[in-house]
């Protein structure tokens, strides 16, 4: 499903953000990527989404080489991916419904189908009763759930999440992680970057450990 071969990334010499990282993720897997701040977790996620390009190496997703396909086909591939950014990237001047619907509107989905899918996604994260609110009126945890609803509304086969519980209390963090587990049970491949050891102990099955850009080890519990 996702294959990385000898991936290196350098933003500024002489330091490497990633150094010779290789691993495979099978369809339907649930992986954590962990390590201290600055270990390369976010860089690795951005490369898998092709928000940035590696300095060296190859990335294969769904049997397609990300470095050899056109920009047009990158957009097609991204339709199969849901992204939960660390800063959420919500549009604060648009209502919750519109924040989630925007993905489907870009794809030209009929309005009736958009309403059905958005309501279903918001119900899954228990926010269907706040779809006409604006994000600034929501709590931090509710904003996070809006971001998750937006990521899953198009039924992606891959979910990438960058520190999705970074600023949440323990109870809410466990609630958010349970949502990702449910999404995974429905068939999506899920990869989550986090430094939260308690979440990894509770939910982790397959774990990648990064340190200073290097993949130290892989564990399957």
- 3-class DSSP assignment, residue 137: helix
CATH code at 205? 3.40.50.300
Specify if 66 maps to a domain. no
| pLDDT reported for residue 166 | 76
The per-residue pLDDT for 221 is: 61
Across the range 131-151, mean pLDDT stands at 92
89-125 pLDDT, tens per residue?
899 999 999 999 998 998 889 999 999 999 999 998 8
Percentage with pLDDT > 90 across the chain: 58
User: Would you list the DSSP string of 25-65?
Assistant: E-TT-EEEEE-STTSSHHHHHHHHHTSS--SEEEEEETTEE
Selected residue with higher pLDDT from 176 and 131: 131
pLDDT mean over 157-169: 87
Residue 70 confidence (pLDDT): 80
Domain that holds residue 178: 26-53+74-220
Q: Is residue 14 part of a domain?
A: no
For residues 53 and 65, is the Cβ–Cβ distance under 8 A? no
Mean pLDDT over each residue of the chain, to the nearest integer: 90
- Domain contains 151: yes
Stronger pLDDT, 59 or 74, i.e. the higher one: 59
Q: Distance (Å, rounded) from C-alpha 207 to C-alpha 94? A: 37
Task: Give per-residue pLDDT as tens, 5-48.
Answer: 999 999 988 889 999 999 999 999 999 999 998 899 999 999 99
Mean per-residue pLDDT for 73-91? 84
Residue with tokens 């925007």: 102
Residue 12 within a domain: no
DSSP state of 101: H
Q: Residue 7: enclosing H or E segment and its boundaries?
A: strand 2-9
Q: Which SS3 state, helix, strand or coil, does residue 192 take?
A: strand
pLDDT band at 144 (very low <50, low <70, confident <90, very high): confident
The number of distinct structural domains making up the chain is 1
Determine contact, residues 21/73, Cβ cutoff 8 Å.
Answer: no
Q: Is residue 165 part of a domain?
A: yes
**Closest residue by Cα to residue 155 from 103, 89, 219:** 103
137 belongs to a structural domain: yes
Q: Which pLDDT score is estimated for 58?
A: 94
DSSP type of residue 130: G
Is residue 191 over pLDDT 90? yes
199, containing H or E segment: helix 197-203
Q: Is residue 18 part of a domain?
A: no
């Amino acid at each position: 499903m996702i294959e990385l071969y000898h991936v290196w990334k350098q933003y500024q010499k002489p330091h490497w953000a990633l150094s010779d990282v290789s691993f495979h993720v099978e369809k339907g897997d649930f992986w954590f990527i962990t390590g201290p701040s600055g270990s390369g977790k976010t860089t690795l996620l951005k490369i898998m989404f092709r928000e940035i390009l590696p300095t060296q190496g190859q990335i294969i997703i769904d049997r397609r080489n990300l470095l050899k396909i056109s920009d047009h086909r990158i957009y097609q591939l991204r339709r199969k991916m849901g992204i939960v950014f660390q800063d959420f990237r919500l549009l604060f001047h648009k209502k919750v419904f519109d924040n989630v619907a925007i993905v489907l509107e870009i794809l030209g989905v009929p309005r009736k189908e958009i309403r059905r899918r958005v309501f279903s996604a918001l119900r899954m994260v228990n926010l269907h009763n706040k779809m006409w609110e604006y994000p600034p009126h929501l709590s931090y945890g509710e904003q996070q759930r809006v971001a998750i609803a937006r990521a899953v509304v198009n039924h992606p086969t891959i979910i990438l999440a960058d520190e999705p519980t970074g600023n949440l209390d323990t109870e809410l963090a466990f609630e958010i992680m349970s949502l990702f587990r449910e999404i995974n049970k429905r068939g999506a491949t899920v990869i989550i970057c986090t430094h939260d050891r308690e979440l990894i102990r509770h939910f982790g099955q397959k774990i990648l450990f990064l340190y200073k850009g290097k993949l130290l080890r892989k564990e399957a519990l």
